Amino acid sequence: MKHPFALSNTLHPRLAWGVALLFVALWYVLAQAAMNRWFQVNPWSATYPRDLTAHLLLGALLFGMARSLPRFMLATAVLFTSLTLGNALKLSILGAPVTPDDFVAARHLFLLFGGWQFAGAVLMVAAPLVLLGWMIAWNQRRTWIHLGVLGLGVGLLVAFPASLTQVMDARFGHSVWNQPANFQMRGLPIHLLQETARNLSLRETPPTRVEVTAALTSLADVEGRDLLKVARAPDLPRRNLHMIVLESFWDPLALTASELSADPLDPEFRSLWTAAGHSHALAPVFGGYTANTEFEVLCGFPVTRDNVFFEGGLRRDAPCLPRHLAEAGYRTFASHPNSAPFWNRVNAYRRIGFETYWSDRDFVLDDMNREFLSDASLYRQVLERLEPTLRQSQPVFNYVLTYFGHLDYPLNERRPATITAAQGHDMVAAYANTLYYKSRELMAFLRELRRRDPDGLIVLFGDHLPFLGPNFGGYTESGLLASQRSDFTDRMFRTLVETPLVVIDGRRGPVAVGDLSFYQLPARLLALLGDQRPSIMELALRPPRTAHLRPLPGLSLMIEGDSVSTCRGAELAPGETETSHAGACRASSDWLQAVERLKADLFSGAQHALLDLHAPQIEFREAALTPRAKPRD
């Protein structure tokens, strides 16, 4: 009787297994060489044996269910390559490895890309699944035995995630602040299993009323205050608020090694930013995940995990900035010329109180930089839509999230390149030319907006730093960042999150607000509007013992003026001693724990913190304009 795995009628069963595992080993060697050459992304050399072993075990499990050796080779190669390539791309672009949350968010790849990029994204996700189904011998008993073993493993993982996490952390290591090192010390299969167990173990029940009261008390030092009870006051704000979120907007003159031929930023913007005291916003993300910046500037709570909060953390209607202003009689508009459901924005915007959401189908796509609508066209169309409302007495919250300026910084024929960079700095040159037009289109819009609404409060900022090359390339040549997160100094972490921030207080002009973490911005804006009503945006406004605390996944930056230090959990920064600022870090950790508890209660729990707040429901509607096809390359 011939073995069902036989490559031919004469191949011995043991030889078939040997060939299958040899194929996995050969693939592994070639894959690591390719990742090192093209992405400079690999596990540590000491990790290779365990990583190869994990791949071989996974390969053996798959071969045990395979119809034939050729089918196994094809399906396994595509599956392993897709996972390895996806991990390398995320590490090189965002500086973090693949996590279980990325599989939930993978569907957004189909909304983000066009043309060959869209086809590639579909292929990376669909091909492994299709080929696995084609490979598996569904009518064989051995297949169901292997699936039973796999199911038992999944069941144990779900039943005992905390125990598994503890064992794996002790065996393979874990860094709370250095996720790239976690991948490097484990390898990809072990990393994914370990982080899946961690995610499952961190799923907590919503906080109780007692826990919420304790958190409020620890933040306010006042027992049982009605902090969040909103009452209508006679001095409600009446000025319009315009918030412009600028895709990847940053100051590239710091890239000295790129030798830019001219300053990309409009001189008028330079003057405006100088008048605003060169204020900076401190973002929770680098290179992407704009939705986390949005959550902070709209709801006033920090994002502390490496996933998109709009996706799974925002499950309840909440009195964020749009709903808070709507309670005072504001019309609330959100504009973003991207696909409406990207990062779950349709649901997220509705839950935080936006009345109207204009997405790509609601704009005339008349000035495209490949798939990105130009800022000039976006601003013009937003003003046209707001014009009737601006003429009325009802105030407006006008929230605009731009799309032009997104990676990989394409320009159309109307926007020829005007700035050059040093040889080998092509992506920096592309970004600089994009910023050249982006800053000028912004200033043209500001001139018109201030003319039409001279008393309006205007705030604008970059959502995060731009991606300029794999492993922080573009920044490393100028000494701004290191190629590995483990080599970052405290100052580098601050550089990683700083973007320009400009606040224009109506006829007073630009005001210096200093450097603010994004979650601190909503309360400051309400103060400038003269809105003294209590709000949830006050809760995280004042961290302890430091002017600013910028929490990031696994660590926090404590910022005092120009100085910065880091709290990295139980780990010490280079040169740090056990007692140097342990007290401040403990206080910051306690504060952050209380804030996280309130965030869980307000956005996914029972909302005990709202006490007797009964805000009226706000009707949410998407603009019902005629849909227009989105052009593709």
The tens digit of pLDDT for each residue in 71-124 reads 999 999 999 999 999 888 888 777 778 888 777 766 665 555 556 666 777 777
Task: Find tokens 């194929």 and name the residue.
Answer: 23
pLDDT at 545: 59
Tell me the three state secondary structure of residue 470.
Answer: helix
Going by the DSSP 8-state scheme, the letter that residue 514 receives in this structure is -
User: Quick check: 276 pLDDT over 90?
Assistant: yes
CA distance 532 to 538: 11
Q: pLDDT by residue (tens digit) across 444-459?
A: 999 999 999 999 999 9
**Residues 499/298, Cβ–Cβ less than 8 Å:** no
| Burial degree of 180 (CB within 10 A; 0-12, 13-18, 19+) | middle
Tell me the three state secondary structure of residue 501.
Answer: strand
pLDDT at 509: 95
Task: Find tokens 């103060």 and name the residue.
Answer: 527
Six token digits for residue 327: 């309670």
Please list the residues that pair with 556 across neighbouring strands.
551, 567
Within 10 angstroms of residue 586's Cβ, the number of other Cβ atoms is 13
Nearest alpha carbon to residue 41 among 173, 181, 190: 181
pLDDT at 3: 46
User: Quick check: 620 pLDDT over 50?
Assistant: no
pLDDT at 443: 97
pLDDT at 74: 95
Q: Which residue has the higher pLDDT, 406 or 378?
A: 378
pLDDT at 382: 96
How much is the mean pLDDT over the chain?
Answer: 86
Going by the DSSP 8-state scheme, the letter that residue 484 receives in this structure is S
Within 10 angstroms of residue 335's Cβ, the number of other Cβ atoms is 24
Task: Say if residue 408 is preceded by a cis peptide, omega within 30 of 0.
Answer: yes
| Burial degree of 387 (CB within 10 A; 0-12, 13-18, 19+) | exposed
State which H helix or E strand residue 407 sits in.
none
Q: pLDDT by residue (tens digit) across 224-265?
A: 344 444 444 445 678 999 999 999 999 999 999 999 999 999
The residue type found at 206 is: P
**Residues 93/288, Cβ–Cβ less than 8 Å:** yes
Show the CA angle centred on residue 593, arms to residues 343 and 353, nearest 5°: 35
Nearest alpha carbon to residue 258 among 514, 430, 23, 398: 430
- Kindly report which listed range (177-191, 317-331, 342-356, 475-489) carries the lowest average pLDDT score: 177-191
| pTM, 2 dp | 0.81
Within 10 angstroms of residue 368's Cβ, the number of other Cβ atoms is 17
User: Quick check: 624 pLDDT over 50?
Assistant: no
User: Quick check: 486 pLDDT over 70?
Assistant: yes
Mention every residue, 6+ apart, whose C-beta is less than 8 A from residue 247: 290, 401, 402, 403, 404, 405, 406, 438, 462, 463
Q: How confident is the model at residue 33 (pLDDT cuts 50, 70, 90)?
A: very high
CA dihedral 530, 535, 537, 541 (to 10 degrees): 80
Q: Which residue has the higher pLDDT, 582 or 570?
A: 582
Strands 372-373 vs 368-369: parallel, antiparallel or unpaired? antiparallel
Strands 555-560 vs 241-246: parallel, antiparallel or unpaired? unpaired
pLDDT at 107: 65
